[in-house]
């Protein structure tokens, strides 16, 4: 009986959320979604040139729940935020971390994933074997142990080169906490990864799920090391940015995402694409 009552409660909650999608914002015939298509497993193209990934599945499900047609627009990462503000699309779905800096110039939907970031190095290198003293460094709650770990990590990585995608939120993080590193920005993550493999680059930094996916590829042998970082300047919650001043659209998409949390859809998609349940729990 307990299971039936719980299932009935969840179903009622989902139904209520979906009914709330009947407002003006949900009546849009087309939802234009910007993505860069170059951040596996979030958004990338398969051998047939088709956009696939966690963001793509989540975006298509949003469109289904608000009775809109998805129009996916691929844009280079370094121009994706200006394109949003110019009105070229309604939202961005490209594994975007929510940060205080970004919230000053754009609005965000509710979170649809949680992603921590870490460094990685070529497999077999001395850096790849580094053992952290803490598992996660939360920049919103810098404990003495976390501060000590950053100092220790800074010492072993001193004067190394690190590659990060241009415009990524980890760029200001590295500049603030690891200023001794030789920071190199890349338009494409694939180019950065190949430079690591060829030992033209010592380190990379990206989301935990990105390194997990890369570890399954034969052409690049890199491994994440050290603690995972989240909070503060680096963020952690993944959400869809939108141009400021569109409250009805935000409410519509938020309701769709909340219904996907309630019925387990986000959890299933996270396991499928990210390798673990990285979905928000409420």
Q: What is the mean pLDDT of residues 262-276?
A: 91
> Of 204, 196, 193, which Cα lies nearest the Cα of 38?
193
* Residue 248, pLDDT above cutoff 50: yes
Of 23-27, 218-222, 275-279, which gets the smallest average pLDDT?
23-27
Q: Compute the distance between CA of residue 278 and CA of residue 115 in angstroms, rounded to an integer.
A: 7
| Strand-strand pairing, 113-114 and 43-45 | unpaired
Domain 117-234 top-level CATH class: alpha beta
Task: Classify 2-114+237-274 by CATH class.
Answer: alpha beta
Residue 238 in tokens: 């993944």
Q: What pLDDT does residue 20 have? A: 45
Mean pLDDT of 20-47: 77
Query: Can you give the pLDDT at residue 267?
Result: 92
Q: Which range among 91-100, 130-139, 196-205, 208-217 shows the weakest confidence by mean pLDDT?
A: 208-217
Please give the model's pTM, rounded to 2 decimal places.
Answer: 0.71
For residue range 65-122, list pLDDT tens digits in order: 999 999 999 999 989 999 999 999 999 999 998 888 899 999 999 999 988 899 999 9
Ramachandran region, residue 34 (left: φ > 0; alpha: ψ -120 to 50; beta: rest)? beta
Lowest pLDDT segment from 60-64, 120-124, 214-218: 214-218
Question: Is the pLDDT assigned to residue 25 strictly greater than 70?
Answer: no
Q: 213 falls in which pLDDT band (50, 70, 90)?
A: confident
Buried b / exposed e along 128-150 (16+ C-beta atoms within 10 A): bebeeebeebbbeeeeeebeebb
**pLDDT for the residue numbered 6:** 36
Q: Is the per-residue pLDDT at 16 higher than 50? A: no
Domain(s) labelled CATH 3.40.190.10 in the chain stretch across 2-114+237-274, 117-234
Mean pLDDT of 24-42: 80
Give the torsion sign (CA, 164, 35, 73, 108).
negative
Question: Which tens digit of pLDDT belongs to each residue from 158-170?
Answer: 999 999 998 888 9
If one compares 1 and 266, the residue with the highest pLDDT of the two is 266
189 has pLDDT over 80: yes
**pLDDT score for 277:** 85
When the pLDDT of each residue in the chain is averaged and rounded to a whole number, the result is: 87
8 A C-beta contact, residue 236 and residue 115: yes
């Amino acid at each position: 009986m307990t299971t039936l009552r719980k299932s009935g409660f969840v179903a009622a909650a989902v139904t209520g959320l979906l009914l709330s999608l009947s407002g003006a914002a949900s009546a849009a015939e087309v939802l234009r979604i910007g993505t860069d298509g170059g951040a596996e497993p979030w958004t990338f193209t398969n051998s047939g040139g088709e956009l696939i990934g966690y963001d793509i599945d989540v975006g298509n499900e949003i469109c289904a729940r608000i009775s809109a047609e998805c129009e996916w627009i691929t844009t280079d990462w370094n121009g994706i935020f200006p394109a949003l503000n110019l009105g070229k699309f309604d939202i961005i779905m490209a594994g975007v971390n929510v940060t205080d800096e970004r919230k000053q110039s754009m609005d965000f939907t509710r979170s649809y994933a949680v992603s921590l970031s870490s460094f990685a190095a070529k497999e077999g290198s001395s850096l790849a074997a580094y053992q952290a003293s803490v598992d996660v460094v939360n920049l919103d709650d810098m404990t003495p142990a976390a501060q000590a770990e950053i100092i220790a990590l800074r010492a072993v990585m001193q004067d190394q080169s690190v590659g990060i995608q241009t415009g990524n939120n980890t760029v200001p993080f590295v500049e603030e906490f690891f200023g001794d590193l030789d920071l190199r920005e890349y338009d494409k993550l694939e180019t950065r990864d190949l430079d690591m493999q060829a030992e033209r680059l010592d380190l990379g930094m990206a989301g935990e799920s990105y390194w997990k996916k890369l570890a399954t590829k034969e052409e690049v042998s890199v491994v994440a090391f050290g603690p995972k970082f989240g909070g503060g300047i680096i963020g952690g919650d993944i959400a869809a940015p939108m141009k400021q001043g569109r409250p009805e659209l935000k409410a519509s998409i938020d309701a769709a995402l909340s219904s996907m949390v309630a019925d387990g859809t986000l959890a299933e998609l996270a396991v499928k694409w990210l390798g673990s349940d990285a979905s928000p729990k409420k």
